[in-house]
Amino acid sequence: MAAKRRAGIGMLGYGNIGREVFAYYRDPRTNARVVRIARRRYNRPAPAAVKKLLVRRAQQVIDDPATEIVVELTGNAEQGAAYMLASLERGKHVVTANKEALATRWREIMAAANRSGASIGFGATAGGGMPVVRAMQRHASTDEVESFAGILNGTCNFILTKMKQYVVRHMDDPQIQRRSLPLEDALSQAQKLGYAEPDPTNDINGFDTKYKLAILSNLAFGAALDPAAIYCEGIWDDDRRILASDFYFLHHPRYLDGKYELRLVGVAERRGGRPALRVHPALIAASGPLADLAGVTENYNGSVINGRRLGTQFIKGLGAGPKPTTISIASDVREIAAGVLRGDGGPPAPPTTRGPAPADVRKVRTKGYIRSVSPDIKGIYAKKLEILARHKVNVQSVVNVKEFLYGRDRFMPDYIEIDPAPDGAVRDVLKAFGRLRGVRDAMYFRVLEL
Ligand SMILES: NC(=O)c1ccc[n+]([C@@H]2O[C@H](COP(=O)([O-])OP(=O)(O)OC[C@H]3O[C@@H](n4cnc5c(N)ncnc54)[C@H](OP(=O)(O)O)[C@@H]3O)[C@@H](O)[C@H]2O)c1
């Protein structure tokens, strides 16, 4: 009996993910097989089975008549987008894991797919092994997505989990400050375990989350949002970062006693028919409607989607790593390959509507805690309170975390609890704090509510 035909995959990239994808398709039971591979450094050592399929240029893979589905795994935003466009224009289906390319060139890529009728699978661009892209596609086609929030970066979640664990383990140690884990050290641990890229900038500054949020929001709201316009704070930006004292304040029984978990989130909500999007570290209540999200630890991803009729859905899964990412790629390939083999192509690409313009996030009201670190200078708190009053931000309480003193000037973190206030006003307060002599690391921890 003749072997069943399998659809032809042309691979662009043979790195961490590419190697795992190639290994996956060595299984003859799959409905696709790899027919061509391009990588940047053509002459690098590779197994004979790979060498046999290697070509020098991506275009050769795209042009090869045996390539029916292009699997784009280069990780290069500009070139990756160009390869996707070239493939779709030639009528070749595309499966990609390249979130930056897809988020920044969404309209062009979807327009090319719609013109040629080719499919585009991008489940691996957000959530990796957590099927949030699929869930969002389903909800958007049958229900109205009101809001969603996601922990979409496993590296940051791992770092925050480790920093908390150190503080909780040594909570009553008088040397707590020395026993805690600074962000830099937590990041090195993540790198050693292979959870963080050698250059982790896009993870820790929130950009990776921002691209994923843009892609999910485009699906949820039928939009084509510009990621550059999304308000974004990471866990470590130029002039502020998460500190060990934050976890002490959040978890010590003397202070907030574990009421909230600190996570980096991407949040989207419909406000007057328009999507309001933001990325920032947030406090998620450990009990209550978002408790499942608060419980997402280590390098896991999680997301909560609120649909008008569906109510609340929670999904959790491994967001990165070669194996979970390959499963996501393979499920897109499987669906498209089934269509190719039936002769009717794969599922249609999302429409290319411009969609509603984004809402002004400065108007979104949140409550939370403003943290800043100040030297032991008389009158410094009065100045901070004056700034808050000037911006009409109401204060509930002020707490000094005396267990964390830094340097000879006895810098100390304080946490100011505020009533719900517009985001813009709080951001103006942070800027004004930054201008006070000696005050640094001003950061706002918004309580997440959906
Ligand atoms: N790693 C993860 O856990 C993860 C999770 C989800 C999504 N992703 C996404 O998956 C994609 C691949 O990630 P990765 O970790 O596999 O990256 P990687 O290890 O850096 O591999 C990239 C591969 O692409 C090749 N390449 C780069 N530019 C090329 C070009 N212009 N033409 C042909 N080949 C080119 C490289 O060639 P050489 O081998 O010759 O250098 C390499 O084989 C990225 O978009 C990433 O964001 C990764």
What is the CATH classification number for the domain harbouring 306?
3.30.360.10
Assess whether pLDDT exceeds 80 at residue 194: yes
Q: Which residue, of 285, 318, 351, is where some domain finishes?
A: 318
Check whether residue 173 and residue 313 sit in a common domain. Answer: yes
Domain span at 393: 361-447
**Proportion of the chain above pLDDT 90, given as a percent:** 90
Express each pLDDT in 45-60 by its tens digit: 999 999 999 999 999 9
pLDDT at 260: 98
Is residue 74 lining ligand 1, measured as CB closer than 6 Å?
Answer: yes
- Distance from the alpha carbon of residue 97 to the mean position of ligand 1, in angstroms: 9
Looking at the structure of the chain, the number of domains it has is: 3
pLDDT at 38: 98
The verdict on 200 and 309 lying in the same domain is yes
The verdict on residue 347 lying in a domain is: no
SS3 call for 446:
strand
pLDDT by residue (tens digit) across 61-97? Answer: 999 999 999 999 999 999 999 999 999 999 999 999 9
Q: Are the C-beta atoms of residues 415 and 370 closer than 8 Å to each other?
A: yes
Q: Are residues 119 and 154 in the same domain?
A: no
Q: 115-126 pLDDT, tens per residue?
A: 999 999 999 999
Assigned domain for 311 exists? yes
Name the β-bridge partners of 421.
366
Distance of CA 10 to the CA centre of its chain: 27
* Nearest-atom index, ligand 1, CA of 14: 43
Q: Whose CA is nearest to atom 5 of ligand 1?
A: 320
pLDDT of 379 strictly over 60: yes
pLDDT in the model for residue 2:
65
CATH for 100: 3.40.50.720
Is the same domain home to 270 and 139? Answer: yes
Residue 322 alpha carbon, nearest atom of ligand 1: 3
| 153 and 95 within one domain | no
In the block, residue with structure tokens 């900038």: 201
Do 57 and 68 lie in a common domain? Answer: yes
Average of pLDDT values for 276-281? 98
CA distances from 50 to 16, 95, 157, 337 (A): 14, 20, 35, 21
What's the CATH code of the domain at 419?
Answer: 3.30.70.1150
* Ligand 1 binding pocket includes 16 (Cβ within 6 Å): yes
Backbone angles phi, psi at 36, to 5 degrees: -150, 150
177 & 296 share domain = yes
Predicted pLDDT at 128: 86
Q: How far is the CA of 389 from the centre of ligand 1 (A)?
A: 50
Residues 381 and 397 in one domain: yes
Q: What is the pTM of this model?
A: 0.97
Q: Is the model's pLDDT at 378 over the cut of 60?
A: yes
Within 10 A of 166 (CB to CB), how many other CB atoms are there? Answer: 18
Tell me what pLDDT residue 1 has.
Answer: 57
Looking at the structure, tell me whether residues 265 and 372 fall in a common domain.
no
Ligand 1 centroid to Cα of residue 74, in Å, is 4
Helix H, strand E, coil C: the string for 38-68 is ECCCCCCCCCHHHHCCEECCHHHHHHCCCCC
Instruction: Reduce the DSSP state of residue 181 to 3 states and report it.
Output: coil
Whether 355 is covered by a domain: the verdict is no
User: Residue 197: is its pLDDT beyond 90?
Assistant: no
Task: Quote the mean pLDDT of the chain.
Answer: 95
44 close to ligand 1 (CB < 6 Angstrom): yes
Ligand 1 probe mutation, 12, 40, 99, 318, most atoms within 8 A of CB: 40
Cβ of residue 76 lying under 6 Å from some atom of ligand 1: yes
Which is the closest atom of ligand 1 to the Cα of 321?
3
CA distances from 250 to 253, 254, 256, 415 (A): 9, 9, 5, 10
Q: Does some domain include residue 356?
A: no
Residues 391-411 pLDDT 10s: 999 999 999 999 998 887 789
124 lines ligand 1 (CB under 6 A): yes
Same domain, 397 and 314: no
Q: How far, in Å, is the centroid of ligand 1 from the Cα of 15?
A: 5
What is the per-residue pLDDT for 111? 97
More confident residue, 354 or 19: 19
Q: Note whether residue 354 is domain-resident.
A: no
- Three-state secondary structure call for residue 13: coil
* Residue 352: inside a domain: no
Last residue of a domain, one of 274, 308, 342: 342
Running DSSP on this structure, what letter comes out for residue 363?
G
* pLDDT for 408: 77
**Segment 110-115 mean pLDDT:** 97
List, for residues 22-36, the tens digit of each pLDDT value. Answer: 999 999 999 999 999
Q: How far is 159 from 262, CA to CA, in rounded Å? A: 11
CA of 178 to the centre of ligand 1 (A): 39
**Domain assignment of residue 1, yes or no:** no
252 and 187 housed in the same domain: yes
pLDDT tens, position by position, 139-188: 888 999 999 999 999 999 999 999 999 999 999 999 999 899 999 999 99
69 inside domain: yes
Q: Are residues 150 and 298 in the same domain?
A: yes
Give the gyration radius of the chain's Cα atoms. 24
Measured in whole angstroms, the distance separating CA 201 from the mean position of its chain's CA atoms is 13
